[in-house]
Amino acid sequence: MTQGCIGLDLPWVSLLLFEGRRVRGDSAEILLTQGFRDFATLLLRLIQRGQRDGSFSRTLKPQAMTSALLGAAEGMMRDRLVAAQQNQPSPFREAHIRAVFSALVAGLGPD
């Protein structure tokens, strides 16, 4: 298997990014796969637990925090996947992704 973004299998990353959501027909209805919904729910529950134990700010809405973290992860994985598909060097290394994610999570800490 080809390893890619954050050590993840490239076909899995492709599935998460490009098949996890599909716009259907003229109504622009967006279909979310069960796997994507399950992952988002897990992240939301972890954030809610972190708010209860004081790890995360209680002034921020958990759903907004979930969306922001998912969006950041998807964006970084997408950029690496697109570069790999175009036989281009990765725009950043795994260490950069971890550093950005650590900074984002730290920024969600208590006030």
**pLDDT tens-digit series, residues 45-100:** 999 999 999 999 999 999 999 999 988 988 888 888 889 889 999 998 888 988 99
Quick check: pTM over 0.75? no
In terms of Cβ atoms closer than 10 Å to its own Cβ (0-12, 13-18, 19+), residue 57 is: middle
21-33 pLDDT, tens per residue?
Answer: 555 566 666 667 7
Decide: residue 47, CB within 10 A, 0-12 exposed, 13-18 middle, 19+ buried. buried
Report which of residues 3 and 49 the model is more confident about.
49
Query: Residue for token digits 């622009």?
Result: 28
Cα–Cα distance between 88 and 85 in angstroms, integer? 8
pLDDT for 4 beyond 80: no
The torsion angles phi and psi of 8, rounded to 5 degrees, stand at -90, 155
Domains of the chain: which residue ranges? Answer: 5-107
